[in-house]
Copies of this chain bind each other. A is one copy, B any other.
Amino acid sequence: MSSYSYATIGTGAIGGFYGSRLQKAGFEVHFLLHSDYAHVKEHGLIVQSYQGDFTLAEVNAYQQAEKMPACDVAIIGLKTTHNHLLSQILPHVVKRQGLVLILQNGLGVEEEIAEIVGDRRILAGLCFICANKVAPGHIHHLDYGQIKIAEYANNYQACGITPQMEHLAADFTAANIKVDLAEDLLLSRWQKLVWNIPYNGLSVILDATTDELMGHSGTRHLVEELMQEVALGASACDRHIHPDLIQQMLDLTDQMQPYRTSMKLDYDSGRALEIETMFGNPIRTASSLGTQLPKISTLYQQLRFLNSRRNRLKSHKLSSV
């Protein structure tokens, strides 16, 4: 089995971290960058990790997709709010029979990307990781790091374990990244939303860290009810979330260090929020199958309001400079 070559699209916390680990392990990796291009071209990438720091003094950095070689695998590390760029990028950076590995949260992104990939197979990697980009080309990896990989097929039919998944798992494992393989992508996505919806949503709306949310009886109760609503949404899609998972997620969060969620970090830094893929799509998917998710819908509209106000204030600030 020959090694895959990798094109990393988006070199933020996620793309930067996994791409760097792959290069460090000897894989051929090409990085597409936007605002950090000049910095990374000159200084490379720094990964500061609880599993050991390292620097890649030289990386294959690109500012334009057209200049990149077509690789075996395109790793999508963009925020979902930038997925409209992919139709211009993907044809250049991944071979016609290659793989597209989506490292994004939420629901429904595969269906969107399926329309532009041609014959390429789509896989998703759900990342369980605490990592931030703290400066251009500088990733801080605080905790966890494993990926759950599953393959996508039309209408989210479960694919089982495919050879492509096993090949990716071997490469990532060689790069010291723990990999789980999942037979059913849609189930995995709903399972991941069990954590993401309550904590990302409430952390932004209530300006709170995970430990604050868990430390008050009202929000603790609400977190659990939101998790149950996620399970209800999964049921509408004929996917069964085991009740134990909810208790596991609560216990896991109790044991975590006080944590600002990724959506809260994005909100505080003025970056785009993945409200539609993380909240809007699950609500619409369940609703189209006759199941309402009223508590999640409440969070969704609150987040849309806060995001819109922040963007207005931001553009006002820019225009008054």
Contact = CB atoms under 8 A, between A and B. Distances in A.
A227 to B, nearest CB: 13
Nearest to A302: B206
How many copies of this kind of chain does the complex include?
A: 2
Contact of A218 (B213, B222, B294, B304): B304
A295 interface: yes
Contact of A295 (B202, B205, B206, B297): B297
A155 interface: no
A219 interface: yes
A217 B305 CA distance: 8
A98 to B, nearest CB: 39
A82 interface: no
A208 B305 contact: yes
A69 B225 CA distance: 52
Interface in A286-316: 294-295, 297-302, 304-306, 308-309
Contacts of A212: 305, 309
A84 interface: no
Contacts of A301: 218-219, 221-222
A264 to B, nearest CB: 15
A317 interface: no
Nearest to A299: B298
B305 A216 contact: yes
Contacts of A300: 218
Contacts of A299: 298
A297 to B, nearest CB: 7
7 contacts: A205-B206, A218-B301, A218-B305, A218-B308, A219-B301, A219-B305, A225-B297
